[in-house]
Structure formats: structure tokens, C-alpha cells
């Protein structure tokens, strides 16, 4: 696609996002819930993978939980224009509760840097905004496959105490410098990495290609802490949680990877309706060989 077409697509997307951002959070989340449920009902492929992933984590998941999770998946998408394009102070005003912030402050006070792990669940886009409003944070940033989405994503995430680090060698060095300076870094630990950047590790009973970067960063920092932006019902806003990992993240890189996966699993099991089960967590990146069964 040419640069001209990219520019036009970005402008159109920006206009659409701008119009949608004028809607209330409740309206957008309601529309998202409807869209998520319709996607689950109409797409057999999506439904099969979505349900299999959910039931692997929650074997006794019933129709009500599946429906709630499908609705939540739609809300993630439809609330983005509001989260990215409304004034930052307006978004933060909808964070009605924060639990465990004292955990961040206690680790930060030690001066060695803190790693904050935010899985693909809840309103994870809101988490960095809240953190940045209290302490500067550098967040790992991966360019979206849809180039037109890049400028919108950067606009919505950057600023207000939040700095973006590209998911490349330079970005990793920037994260390490931030930790050496006693700062905060944020990363999605369940994001599927590229070839050579991960290891196969168990995730809800199935091998998943898991990034090693999050584990390696914890070797240079205090913590880590798990971060979860719980989406409250009926457009009421968000409740942010800052939690110690379920399993101590210690040992070599492999042990840390497995401890992080166990901690993500524990958090997901507490809030199974808010994990993005449609995310292709078990995909095999190009060039990576699947483990022998």
C-alpha cells in the first residue's frame, strides 16, 4: 500500500475515531458488547477458538460466562476511541478505584526500577494512563499490522507521563536504561513474540510461545507487579489493581518465564470474563518450530 493510501486511511480512521469518541463510554461499551456477542454467534471459526481457549482455563465455564467474555471482547474494541481520544483527565476521572498502588510506591522507593506486567485483559489501555499520571512509565510499543492504526495508537498511548519504546533493539535498551535509572516499565507478558524472542512454555495446559523479554527485564528490577484494569459494568468506569505475582519471579530466565505465566493464569482465573480469549495466544510465529508433543 502506498504512502498516499496509508495517509488517507489514517485520516479516515482518525475522523471515525473522533466521531465515536464523542459518544459516552456507556454507549460505546454497550455497542461493543452487542458486537462481541454477534461475532461469537456468527463466526464459527472465532467461536471455536474462543470457547476452546476459555474452557481450557475454566473447564466448567457455562453459557453465561462465555456470553460475558464475548461481550467483554467487543467492549475492548469499541471503547478505544473514547480511551485514546478523549482528554486524558476525563479518562482518568473514570478510574473510580485503585487497589494496591502502595505496592508500586514501595518498590519504586527502593530505587532499582519496577516492571509492571499487564496481560491482555480488562481495559489495559487505561492502566498506563493512570500509572503515568502518578509516576513516569515507559511502555513497550509494537507497531500494529494495520499501518493506518499506528498514528491513532501512538496518539492514544503517548504523553501524560507515558513514553513509548519500540519493540526492537533500541526499545529494549531504552527499557533497560529506564530500569537502571529507577523508573517504571510496562509490558504485556502474554504477547506472542517473534522468532528467537521467546520459548515454548505451558499456558493453561498447552504450549504457548512466550516472550523472554519480560522475564529478562525482571532480572534488572524490583517486583514485578501484575496490573489489571477491571472494567466495571454499565459504563461505570474502571478499577485498577496492582498485585504481587502469584508465583515469585526468581531464578533463571526459563524459571521466570514460567512464574510469569503462572501469575497471569492466576489473575485470569479470578476474572475469566475479562480476558481476551480471541487473542491468538497459541499461534506459532513464522520460523518457529513447534515443540514435539
Q: What is the pLDDT of residues 1-30, one digit of tens each?
A: 566 556 676 777 778 888 999 999 999 999
User: Is 280 or 260 the better-scoring residue by pLDDT?
Assistant: 260
pLDDT of res. 159: 80
Q: How confident is the model at residue 289 (pLDDT cuts 50, 70, 90)?
A: very high
Q: What is the pLDDT of residue 6?
A: 60
The CATH number given to whatever domain includes residue 40 is 3.40.1130
Torsion of CA 261, 265, 266, 272, to 10 degrees: 160
282 part of a folded domain: no
Q: Which residues have C-beta within 8 Å of that of residue 230, sequence separation ≥ 6?
A: 122, 123, 238, 239, 240, 241, 271, 274
Task: Work out how many domains the chain is built from and give that number.
Answer: 1
- Are 222 and 237 contacting, i.e. CB atoms less than 8 angstroms apart? no
- Per-residue exposure over 2-29, b if at least 16 CB sit within 10 Å of its own CB, e if not: eeeeeeeebeebbeebeebbebebeebb
**pLDDT of 168 over the 70 cut:** yes
Do the domain assignments include residue 60?
yes
Q: Which domain holds residue 90?
A: 3-274
C-alpha cell at position 287: 520460523
* DSSP summary character for residue 59: T
Is-contact 46 40, C-beta < 8 A?
yes
> Is 289 among the domain residues?
no
pLDDT reported for residue 2: 61
Name the pLDDT band for 141 (thresholds 50, 70, 90): confident
pLDDT band at 167 (very low <50, low <70, confident <90, very high): confident
Which of the 8 DSSP states describes residue 221?
Answer: S
Domain assignment of residue 280, yes or no: no
CB 256 within 8 A of CB 264: no
Tens-digit pLDDT profile for residues 215-256:
999 999 988 999 999 999 999 999 999 999 999 999 999 999
Evaluate whether residue 222 is within a structural domain: yes
pLDDT attached to residue 158: 78
pTM of this structure: 0.92
Residue 285 forms part of a structural domain: no
> What are the distances in angstroms from CA 9 to CA 1, 78, 147, 148, 152?
10, 19, 9, 6, 11
Amino acid at each position: 500500500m502506498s504512502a498516499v493510501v496509508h495517509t488517507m486511511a489514517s485520516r479516515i480512521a482518525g475522523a471515525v475515531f473522533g466521531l465515536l469518541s464523542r459518544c459516552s463510554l456507556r454507549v460505546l461499551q454497550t455497542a461493543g458488547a452487542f458486537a462481541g456477542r454477534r461475532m461469537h454467534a456468527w463466526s464459527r471459526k472465532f467461536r471455536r477458538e474462543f470457547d476452546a481457549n476459555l474452557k481450557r482455563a475454566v473447564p466448567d465455564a457455562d453459557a453465561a460466562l462465555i456470553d460475558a467474555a464475548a461481550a467483554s471482547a467487543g467492549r475492548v474494541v469499541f471503547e478505544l476511541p473514547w480511551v485514546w481520544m478523549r482528554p486524558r483527565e476525563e479518562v482518568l476521572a473514570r478510574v473510580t478505584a485503585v487497589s494496591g498502588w502502595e505496592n508500586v510506591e514501595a518498590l519504586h522507593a527502593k530505587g532499582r526500577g519496577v516492571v509492571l506486567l499487564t496481560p491482555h485483559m480488562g481495559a489495559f489501555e487505561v492502566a498506563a494512563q493512570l500509572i503515568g499520571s502518578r509516576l513516569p512509565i515507559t511502555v513497550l510499543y509494537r507497531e500494529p499490522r494495520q499501518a493506518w492504526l499506528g498514528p491513532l495508537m501512538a496518539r492514544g498511548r503517548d504523553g501524560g507521563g507515558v513514553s513509548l519504546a519500540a519493540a526492537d533493539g533500541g526499545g529494549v535498551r531504552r527499557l533497560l536504561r529506564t530500569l537502571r535509572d529507577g523508573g517504571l516499565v510496562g509490558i504485556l507478558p502474554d504477547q506472542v513474540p517473534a522468532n528467537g524472542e521467546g520459548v515454548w512454555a505451558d499456558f493453561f495446559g498447552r504450549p504457548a510461545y512466550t516472550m523472554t523479554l519480560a522475564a529478562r527485564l525482571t532480572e534488572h528490577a524490583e517486583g514485578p507487579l501484575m496490573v489489571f484494569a477491571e472494567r466495571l459494568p454499565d459504563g461505570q468506569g474502571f478499577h485498577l489493581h496492582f498485585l504481587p505475582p502469584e508465583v515469585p519471579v526468581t531464578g533463571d530466565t526459563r524459571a521466570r518465564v514460567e512464574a510469569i505465566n503462572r501469575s497471569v493464569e492466576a489473575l485470569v482465573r479470578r476474572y475469566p470474563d475479562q480476558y481476551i480469549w480471541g487473542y491468538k495466544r497459541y499461534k506459532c510465529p513464522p520460523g518457529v518450530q513447534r515443540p514435539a508433543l
